[in-house]
Structure 1
Amino acid sequence: MTANDLSTINELESCVRSYVRSFPAVFTKARGYKMWDENGKEYLDFFAGAGSLNYGHNEPNMKKKLVEYILDDGITHSLDKATTAKIDFLNKFNNVILKPRDLEYRIMFPGPTGTNTVESALKLARKVTGRTDIISFTNGFHGMTIGALSVTGNSMKRKGAGIPLSHTVTMPYDNFVSEDLDTLEYLERFLEDNGSGVSIPAAIILETVQGEGGINAARFEWIKKVDEICKRWGILLIIDDVQAGVGRTGTFFSFEPAGIKPDIVCLSKSIGGYGLPLALTLIRPDLDQWKPGEHNGTFRGNNHAFITATEALTYWEDPAFEKSVQDKSVTITKFLENMIEKYPEMKGHLKGRGFMQGISSDVDGFSDKVAKNAFKRALIMETAGGHDEVFKLFPPINIDEQGLEQGFKVIEDSIKATVQEMFPTKETVSN
């Protein structure tokens, strides 16, 4: 990066910028799981746009379809008018994703981001049930607009709202206190007791794996019990699959292994396939009680994203693709378990599942240093959790074995360097 590039960013871009601070390079090119900066330096991308690039950068088939569509003067902007691009996507999503999983949903296109789909889900739940409150969970992250922020746990981000965030109740996530405490018994007691101060909510919103909150993976039996509680009390269950969906946890939807069928599902990030903005709110048909235009947005129909999203679904037509994601997920788990055993100084704990895994360190600042050391070694990786205590692996789900192994080597070198920096008088196990 040249001094002039740095000065432009520092002088003209808002102080709110964040990732450019963690990854101070000017990137000019990207393909698959690799990026290059203006000096030609090659980086491994184990960040994948925070889960927006599950198929990597510039996936060739999606790129070809998009370029052809643009050169043929295909519709770019259409609000929610009918276009061939939208119809093709709806049909393919229904035939490739929903029907094989015995799921029936109406598909809503809110604004194009994750927070937009969450806002629409919360609004619809309140409209349909006539209730006001939403139950969310500790360490949950659902977006940065006021409604989505009200069900987000991070205190720093909540404070940024500038106003009280109301009509929500936060309950403890699975294993939030300890493995011995049944957090759902606690939740049900609040619902049962008229003196609890908690009204029957319109909905419960849940990430099956909490991304920003620290790669916390709920047990499948816990998720199933949440679903049962919702059914018993007439509460709608909203699954926020913005980051954990589209194959990131090993199945297209993160909730599939739990055997549930949520009332509403929020999708964004990688649903567009190519990194183009797109969001879906999947709605149980009987809940689709919107009046025309009751929830809208200027960019609720991104035709370029429809083109790439439709092509992306081709991956899911072949069961071998999903199997490969699951097999490589096991490889990631084994690698992380090996790191925890090999470098006990970091006091690490395995977090997450699928291609959404990481290590939580009990040593203050350790994970942040690992991420910084990884960037020095040309690997892009971020941290998660309320204290950045988790360094997380988010490579594209179609990365090859060679790319994984290459990344593993850099990450181990970064862990080893961090151990040597933070514990200079101790010999590491690998020495």
Structure 2
Amino acid sequence: MGTQLLETSNLEVFDQFESEVRSYCRSFTTVFNKAKNAKLWDTQGNEYVDFFAGAGALNYGHNNEQIRAKLVEYLMKDGITHSLDMATSAKEAFLLRFQEVILKPRGWHYKIMFPGPTGTNAVESALKIARKVTGRSTVMCFTNAFHGMTIGSLAVTGNTFKRNGAGVELHNSVFMPYDGYFGAEVNTVDYIAALLDDPGSGVPLPAAVILESLQGEGGLKAASADWLQHIARLCKDRGILLIVDDVQMGCGRTGSFFSFDHMGIEPDIICLSKSIGGYGLPMAITLLKPEIDAWMPGEHNGTFRGNNLGFIAAAEALSYWETPDFEKSIIRKAQIVRSALEQMLKTYPELSGELRGRGLIQGIAFKEDGLAERLCKNVFEQGLIMETSGPCSEVAKLMPPLTIEDTTLEQGLKIVAAGMARLANAVALEEKKTKLEV
């Protein structure tokens, strides 16, 4: 560790021709051209450990051989690639596999909707059907939530920077405090219930409540099972639909397939995308309770909702969930990450870090502005890719592929530990310099 990588690849073409909206390439200043499971290589031959996993779209790693074999076989047989919402054998296989592997073992009954290929498509469709079914327009959402970048999804997203990108006023949503927003001693469900039941509060009865059980972009803030159960009960008692956005946290990211498994809730609507496509392919699904599947044919559609390569990859990816072994391996690796991060916080208390997250999405929240960004920049220079999250980019977030090898996981954690040491030393020098100047 500690050896500076070769000079990064030239980004001149991207600077010249690509829109200013690009973001990740500003943090990861190189040109990548090869990837395998939890590692990437750039055009200069530099190797990077991937603790980013395509923002959660690559839970099964880069170029997963098991899934790739199915894709290549399908392509070589001239399988359908694009079909809108026509019936295909690839879609049929996915529908049957999802029923058998995911829904039946839980005793759940959902209709599967293909809304379009991205997470925000899944969220938009959930908001629309909730409003259609209930006849109400307002959707309740939460502080620090992130649900997507299209207008409807932005309206239920808390981040001011992202919301400002809409260029218009965002309506038909009402924000409430997430679990722990006022501290552990305050049950925010009681606050929400009081507002909903007070005819003078000015808060209308919403069509739906939309939430993440663990807020990925919001700073790895997790809701407790008790809080989620109280929210579910609040919704049921008042005829409000419960939507869980599991776009980033689903497909095993927190350990179990759904992030809210074992938490005692059964949402009316579930949004999945990112790793549901298995191979990093664009795909999204919206799970609807049969009684609220009130769409008219074609009332919500999209040209690329029939991504058959996504169906093939997704069906094969579900083989990881046929036995408990994969979930057990995620939990075991998660403990390795937690132990390593706990040791870092113990070693560098002066950085005032706080451990957040669960499963294979964990991180360190820093009180001082800019430290998380500095840590991510530091470790990138030493061969590791990780990003920040939170409203002020205050959390350095570790999110490796679920299939990461133990040796690669340890390699990455050593780079993070070394980065923490360099950060602590730099902060100490800055504080010493400030004192001397005073």
Same fold (TM over 0.5): yes
- Where do 1:75-154 residues align within 5 Å? 75-154=80-159
How far apart are the structure 1 equivalents of 2:33 and 2:96?
A: 36
Residue pair 2:9, 2:42 contacting (<8 A) in 1 also:
no
**CA shift at 1:4, angstroms?**
8.7
- Where do 1:156-167 residues align within 5 Å? 156-167=161-172
Tell me if 1:170 matches 2:175.
Answer: yes
Please state whether the residue corresponding to 1:383 is helix, strand or coil: strand
Please state whether the residue corresponding to 2:365 is helix, strand or coil: strand
**CA shift at 1:323, angstroms?**
1.0
Please state whether the residue corresponding to 1:132 is helix, strand or coil: coil
Change (3 A) 1:412 1:74: same
Match of 1:310 among 299, 310, 315: 315
**CA shift at 1:257, angstroms?**
2.2
Please state whether the residue corresponding to 1:28 is helix, strand or coil: strand
**CA shift at 1:413, angstroms?**
0.4
Deviation sequence 1:202-257 (CA, Å, 0-9, x none)? 00000000011101111111111111111111100000000000000000000112
How far apart are the structure 2 equivalents of 1:406 and 1:315?
A: 25
Please state whether the residue corresponding to 1:423 is helix, strand or coil: helix
Please state whether the residue corresponding to 1:392 is helix, strand or coil: strand
Match of 2:258 among 253, 256, 269: 253
How far apart are the structure 2 equivalents of 1:165 and 1:404?
A: 41
Identity %: 56
Could you tell me which residue of structure 1 aligns to residue 198 of structure 2? 193
Residue range with higher mean Cα deviation, 242-251 or 343-352: 343-352
Please state whether the residue corresponding to 1:258 is helix, strand or coil: coil
Structure 2 residue runs of 5 or longer lacking an equivalent are 1-5, 433-438
Letter in 2 for 1:64: A
Letter in 1 for 2:51: F
- With normalisation by structure 2, the TM-score equals 0.96
Residue pair 2:9, 2:29 contacting (<8 A) in 1 also:
no
Match of 1:280 among 273, 285, 291: 285
- With normalisation by structure 1, the TM-score equals 0.97
Deviating beyond 4 angstroms after TM superposition, the runs of 4 or more aligned structure 1 residues are 1-4
Letter in 2 for 1:274: Y
How far apart are the structure 2 equivalents of 1:101 and 1:392?
A: 30
Letter in 1 for 2:270: V
Residue pair 2:357, 2:363 contacting (<8 A) in 1 also:
yes
**CA shift at 1:402, angstroms?**
1.1
Letter in 2 for 1:410: I
**CA shift at 1:340, angstroms?**
1.2
Could you tell me which residue of structure 2 aligns to residue 417 of structure 1? 422
How far apart are the structure 1 equivalents of 2:9 and 2:231?
A: 53
How far apart are the structure 1 equivalents of 2:431 and 2:166?
A: 45
Tell me if 1:336 matches 2:350.
Answer: no
Match of 1:379 among 384, 409, 412: 384
Residue pair 2:8, 2:30 contacting (<8 A) in 1 also:
no
Could you tell me which residue of structure 2 aligns to residue 294 of structure 1? 299
When the two structures are aligned, how many residues end up with a matched partner? 427
Change (3 A) 1:4 1:268: closer
Could you tell me which residue of structure 2 aligns to residue 403 of structure 1? 408
Could you tell me which residue of structure 1 aligns to residue 17 of structure 2? 12
Letter in 2 for 1:183: T
Residue pair 2:219, 2:395 contacting (<8 A) in 1 also:
yes
RMSD across aligned C-alpha pairs, in angstroms? 1.3
Could you tell me which residue of structure 2 aligns to residue 52 of structure 1? 57
